[in-house]
């Protein structure tokens, strides 16, 4: 039992050590792009390899961005997308330097947080990634290490995808929470104003209005009474 545990640990350790050296070409980056700004990243490729380029706008504005991929020795861009949230492309690399440009010039007030990754389409064996060109039959240990390497690469890809989804979902939840909060505050203010208005209207209905007197207090009217036992002579 102890020998099996040591064997598994040694395989994982060797896979990690070689995988770190072999994954130097794979790229994953999250950056912030301000309004009315653009940013380009460059990578040198060897001829004959297939690569995958994927990007995702995590937060900011409507979650869209302009992306252009330019290949060496070509006047037309390899890929162009305007105001898109996420996408992934596969391309066969030519020898030279590629440019991956992100633009947020169409936005005037909102900055964007963008995540992108660049990795080979097919995982290479550990010997190839380590730079060992000698052809020989793989031992059972090497085959196990390659299987673990492929499975670990798939797990890393799924983890990256889940992290992007979780970040996007958290951002949408925060935006929804703030909008609901402001809507509830506005509704509360309206209800308070309506209550104050109703109280004022009801007070006007039940308040007695006193009419001002028309008699002049400075010149009181003098009235003369005529006794009933006297008659008026004409």
Which pLDDT does position 187 carry in this prediction?
Answer: 95
When mean pLDDT is compared across 74-83, 107-116, 154-163, the lowest value belongs to 154-163
Within 8 A by CB and 6+ apart from 73, the residues are 94, 96
Evaluate if residue 132 carries a pLDDT over 80: no
Token pair recorded at residue 84: 């898109």
What is the rounded average pLDDT of the residues 8-17?
39
The predicted pLDDT at position 219 comes to 53
pLDDT at 180 over 90: yes
Q: Which residues on adjacent β-strands are paired with residue 101?
A: 40, 68
Q: What is the pLDDT of residue 21?
A: 38
Across residues 99-108, what is the average pLDDT?
Answer: 91
Q: What is the pLDDT of residues 35-86, one digit of tens each?
A: 889 999 999 988 778 899 999 898 888 888 999 999 988 788 999 999 998 8
In the chain, the domains with their CATH numbers are 25-122 (2.60.120.380)
Indicate whether 24 pLDDT > 50: no
Count Cβ atoms below 10 Å from residue 150 Cβ, excluding itself: 15
What integer is the mean pLDDT of 10-36? Answer: 60
Amino acid 66: pLDDT? 93
Is the pTM higher than 0.75? no
Nearest to 21 by CA among 149, 110, 202, 193: 149
Structure tokens given for 83: 């105001």
């Amino acid at each position: 039992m102890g020998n099996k545990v040591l064997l598994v640990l040694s395989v994982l350790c060797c896979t990690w050590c070689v995988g770190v050296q072999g994954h130097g070409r794979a790229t994953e980056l999250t950056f912030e792009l301000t309004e009315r700004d653009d940013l380009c990243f460059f990578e040198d490729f060897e001829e004959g390899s297939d690569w995958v380029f994927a990007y995702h706008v995590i937060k900011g504005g409507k979650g869209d961005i302009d992306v252009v991929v330019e290949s060496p020795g070509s006047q037309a861009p390899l890929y162009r997308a305007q105001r898109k949230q996420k996408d992934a492309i596969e391309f066969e690399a030519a020898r030279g330097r590629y440019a991956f440009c992100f633009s947020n010039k169409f936005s005037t007030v909102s900055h964007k947080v963008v995540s992108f990754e660049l990795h080979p389409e097919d995982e290479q064996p550990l010997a190839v990634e380590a730079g060992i060109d000698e052809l020989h039959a793989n031992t059972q240990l090497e085959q196990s290490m390659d299987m673990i390497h492929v499975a670990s690469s798939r797990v890393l890809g799924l983890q990256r995808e889940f992290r992007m989804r979780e970040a996007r979902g958290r951002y949408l939840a925060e935006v929804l929470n703030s909008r609901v909060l402001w809507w509830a505050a506005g509704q509360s203010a309206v209800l308070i104003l309506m209550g104050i208005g109703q109280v004022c209207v009801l007070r006007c209905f039940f308040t007695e209005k006193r009419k001002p007197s028309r008699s002049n207090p400075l010149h009181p009217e003098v009235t003369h009474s005529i006794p009933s036992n006297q008659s008026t002579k004409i």
